[in-house]
Amino acid sequence: MVFDFLQPISTSVEEYIATLSNQTLGKKVVFHTQTDFPVLDNVAIAIITVNEFRGSEKDNDDYSFDYFRKQFYSLFPGNWNTSIVDLGTIEAGASVEDTYFVVKSLVAELVKKRIIPVIIGGSQDLTYPMYRGYDNLDQMVNLVSVDNQFDFSKENKLDSESYLSKIIVEEPNNLFNFSNLGFQTYFNSQEEIDLIEKLYFEAYRLGEVSNNIAVAEPVFRDADLVSVDMHSVQSSYSGNFDVFNPNGFTGKEICALTRYAGISDKVTSFGIFNFNPNRNEVVLTAQMLWYFIEGFCFRSNEYPFGTKENYIKYIVPIEDEELIFYKSNKTARWWIEIPFLTNVNNKLKRNTLLPCTHEDYLAACEQEIPERWWKAQRRNVL
């Protein structure tokens, strides 16, 4: 049983939680303790820490995550009505592959139970076993990475700076789309940037997202798996001066992004990686997780459409196409239809809807084809 690999929270954390006010998160969450394992019926979110850093330059020191748990569980929840469990820690296996196997099996098991696994800590190559957890779920996967680099590599290795290459080339290939939010051009070779374009993936520069954080919302709305690299955060906010980054997302921006990830009806797994155990980053990561759960509690269950009655349909003639947009009466969010092409080898089985912005609709009215729609069309026939 995969749950046998999980280590319970420490006695120190248990004792700390016992001292907290009844209104705190620590009193609302069910824990894997030395004596009890949570019942997983009707659970929405499962928090797991992973003590595996061998995919980064950081030593795989025995980090307990106790300080992170104390910070997070001392926070107060919003007006939430959702069941959360803390399943404890996956300790590093004898080999990195052993850890990958446990993460993959755990993600597969939880997603099948309709529980969102939230993986905290470890190096970002753990995104790879999270993605592999979808192998037997019979679905294409959209991966969104909040990162200042793309993590491609020509070398045949798997670590936090090359895991994406492995995801793209290895069978079974379940990846439908990859989107990067916050890349910084000087950390990425031109070859990598060209490859993103060639595969019709999406990449948004740090400045583009910082100038208008709302451009990220439709990207998350279409994601299944979200992976956040803490190196994408400015060092003055994260407190990580070991890997110094003078530019990056602010604390407010990274929390807004994790809230968008939580509010997406489609996101079924979430991870925060390259976690540095300094005080600042622990506090920031705790707040990022808080915002993810806050977003989850405000999901509007608009995906997939059961009926189009609650949506206004807009048809925009453009060149020799007709673009079909839908606007929700409930949330005022927008989608654009990707038509099913019968004459090509098609990854999609039917017409499907791609999240977009009101600006995309306005641009289409000015005879500009939305770039996300165009790329989705091309990916569809690759």
Residue-level pLDDT at 219:
97
**Least confident among 18-32, 214-228, 244-258, 297-311:** 297-311
Is the pLDDT reported for residue 59 higher than 70? no
- Position 157 scores a pLDDT of 66
Contacts of 181 (CB under 8 A, 6+ apart): 144, 145, 146, 147, 204, 209, 216, 219, 257
Question: Which pLDDT score is estimated for 39?
Answer: 95
For residue 270, the cross-strand partners are 118, 226
CB 130 within 8 Å of CB 157: no
Q: What is the pLDDT of residue 179?
A: 97
Is pLDDT at 60 greater than 60 in this prediction? no
pLDDT at 67: 93
245 is written with which tokens? Answer: 């980054």
Query: Does the structure show a pLDDT above 70 at 312?
Result: yes
Please give the average per-residue pLDDT across 350-365, as a whole number.
Answer: 90
Sign of CA dihedral 118, 119, 121, 123: negative
Provide the 3-class DSSP secondary structure of residue 326.
strand
Q: What is the mean pLDDT of residues 311-340?
A: 91
- The pLDDT tens digits for 161-177 are 788 988 998 888 999 99
Encoding tokens for residue 111? 């997603």
Determine the pLDDT at residue 280: 86
Residue 296 near residue 226, CB atoms below 8 Å: no
**27-37 mean pLDDT:** 96
- For residue 156, pLDDT over 90 is answered with no
Q: Please provide the average confidence, as pLDDT, over all residues in the chain.
A: 91
- Kindly state the percentage of the chain with pLDDT values over 90: 75
Mean predicted confidence (pLDDT) in 51-61: 73
Give the containing element (helix H, strand E) for 87: strand 84-91
SS3 337: strand
Q: What is the pLDDT of residues 175-226, one digit of tens each?
A: 999 999 999 999 999 999 999 999 999 999 999 999 999 999 999 999 999 9
**Of the candidates 324, 328, 339, 220, which has an alpha carbon nearest to the alpha carbon of residue 270?**
220
215-247 confidence digits (pLDDT tens): 999 999 999 999 999 999 999 999 888 889 999
Q: Taking residues 13-25, report their average pLDDT.
A: 97
C-alpha pair distances (Å), 372 with each of 76, 151, 216:
38, 22, 12
Inform me whether the pLDDT recorded for 279 exceeds 90. no
Amino acid at position 122, single letter: G
Query: Which pLDDT value is given to residue 350?
Result: 60
CA distance 335 to 323: 11
The answer to whether 351 and 373 have CB atoms below 8 angstroms apart is no
Lowest mean pLDDT among 146-155, 223-232, 355-364: 146-155
**Stretch 257-283: mean pLDDT, rounded?**
92
What separation in angstroms does the CA of 333 have from each of 35, 293, 353? 46, 20, 12
pLDDT number for residue 155: 63
Using CA atoms, how far apart are residues 129 and 324, in angstroms rounded to an integer?
37
High-pLDDT (> 70) share of the chain, %:
93
Domain ranges of the chain: 2-297, 311-381
| pLDDT tens digits, one per residue of 98-149 | 999 999 999 999 999 999 999 998 899 999 999 999 998 888 899 999 999 9
What is the rounded CA–CA span in Å between residue 261 and residue 144?
Answer: 9
pLDDT the model gives residue 56? 78
Task: Give me the pLDDT at residue 267, please.
Answer: 97
Average pLDDT of span 247-263: 98
Check pLDDT > 60 for residue 3: yes
| pTM more than 0.85 | yes
CA dist 124 and 227 (Å) reads: 8
Among candidate residues 116, 121, 149, the one with its CA nearest the CA of residue 133 = 116
Give residue 303's pLDDT.
Answer: 74
pLDDT of 347 higher than 90: no
Residue 61's identity, in one-letter code, is D
- pLDDT of 277 above 90: no
For the 2-297 domain, the top CATH level (class) is alpha beta
Q: Which residues of 127-145 are buried (b: 16+ CB within 10 A; e: fewer)?
A: bbbbbbbbeeeeeebbbbb
Query: Apex CA 145: angle with CA 29 and CA 141, to 5°?
Result: 85
